[in-house]
Structure 1
């Protein structure tokens, strides 16, 4: 799911995140090679407040300065995962069981690589998704990208 660069950045950030009591949901590197944008999505057990974002931005920036992942210019963005929360780990897929999710696989599974359905958790190394009344097992290591499909109830 992560590129080698994204995995390297995640590995550099996770020990400090644990000390700070935040979770690094995922890291994305996007944009031009000469001046990319590094997006770090953080979560906190009590929710992501402005204070959590502000303090996370500070220590993440310090680590980025130390490792200098892209000599020259880059933009650092630190954000909450938002309503369409990315899913990366087995724990993420298990925690959000019951939610609607969109999943893209690196290679086709059963003739397709785009899936949308209800997360039913994990079984072994497979993400279980209920799609159109069918139970589908997608190998976690074959998932390219996945996220919760956020919904808003305007009737409440």
Structure 2
């Protein structure tokens, strides 16, 4: 689940100030200890030292501002080869790449789509699946991933 906007607004400037792309953040609340996962990227790739550097800086901001009640684990990661989509503009940015889309409900009897991403047309994502273009409203998308080639 996407992290709350107040959390994103606190950590984005820190990540970008360190020279990394802020890809997005997820927050998974739990009874005992939640999980805040931050995804970062850079043109040179992301190494463990990069994640540690961002984690250290973001921890300081979160400790001072305390935007999340209770205990949680902070995790910093690269988006990996299955890059989660946090910003709708990513559908345009990664046009031509393979994508997986999980829908909020059934559309034409299906909950999942997988194929080549054609792009974003207004508030609709177009994906080519088995030679046919399928258009899906952004509001119907629950989760999406861009499958980047290694």
> How far apart are residue 119 of structure 1 and its match?
0.7
Alpha carbon RMSD of aligned pairs, Å?
Answer: 2.1
Other-structure match for 1:43: 41
Other-structure match for 1:27: 25
> How far apart are residue 151 of structure 1 and its match?
5.0
TM-score, L = length of structure 2 = 0.85
Other-structure match for 1:139: 137
Give ranges in structure 1 of 5+ residues lacking alignment: none
More strand by share: 2
Answer yes or no: is the 8 Å Cα contact 1:23–1:44 preserved in 2: yes
Alpha carbons of structure 1 residues 60 and 88: separation in structure 2 relative to 1, 3 Å = same
> How far apart are residue 150 of structure 1 and its match?
4.7
Give ranges in structure 2 of 5+ residues lacking alignment: none
Other-structure match for 1:86: 84
How many equivalent pairs are there? 150
Cα deviation per residue 1:109-155 (whole Å; 9 max; x = unaligned)?
33322111111111112111001111111222332111123555xxx
Distance of 2:110 and 2:67 partners within structure 1: 35
Q: Which of 127, 130, 137 is 1:129 aligned to?
A: 127
Distance of 2:96 and 2:10 partners within structure 1: 32
Other-structure match for 2:65: 67
Distance of 2:139 and 2:63 partners within structure 1: 31
